[in-house]
Chain A
Amino acid sequence: SSELTQDPAVSVALGQTVRITCQGDSLRSYYASWYQQKPGQAPVLVIYGKNNRPSGIPDRFSGSSSGNTASLTITGAQAEDEADYYCNSRDSSGNLNWVFGGGTKLTVL
Chain B
Amino acid sequence: QVQLVQSGAEVKKPGASVKVSCKVSGYTLTELSMHWVRQAPGKGLEWMGGFDPEDGETIYAQKFQGRVTMTEDTSTDTAYMELSSLRSEDTAVYYCATVSLEAVTTFDYWGQGTLVTVSS
Contacts and interface: CB of A to CB of B under 8 A. Distances in A.
A96 B59 contact: yes
A26 to B, nearest CB: 9
B9 interface: no
B100 interface: yes
A31 B100 CA distance: 13
Contacts of B80: none
A103 to B, nearest CB: 4
Interface in B34-92: 35, 37, 44-47, 50, 52, 54, 59, 61-62
Given A42-B113, A54-B108, A96 B103 contact: no
Given A48-B100, A48-B102, A100 B44 contact: yes
A82 to B, nearest CB: 17
Nearest to A26: B105
B110 A44 contact: yes
Contacts of A101: 44
Contacts of B97: 43
Interface stretch (A12-20, A71-79, A83-91): A83-91
B40 to A, nearest CB: 12
Contacts of B54: 96
Contacts of B45: 35, 37, 43, 86, 88, 100, 103
Nearest to A101: B44
Interface residues of A, number: 27
B107 to A, nearest CB: 7
Measured as residues with beta carbon below 8 angstroms from the partner, the interface class of chain B is 20 to 34
Contact of A97 (B59, B106, B107, B113): B59
Interface of B: 35, 37, 44-47, 50, 52, 54, 59, 61-62, 95, 97, 100, 102-108, 110-113
Contacts of A88: 45, 47, 105-107
Given A31-B105, A48-B103, A98-B35, 5 more contacts: A33-B106, A54-B108, A88-B107, A95-B62, A96-B59
Contacts of B61: 97
A45 B105 CA distance: 12
A102 B113 CA distance: 19
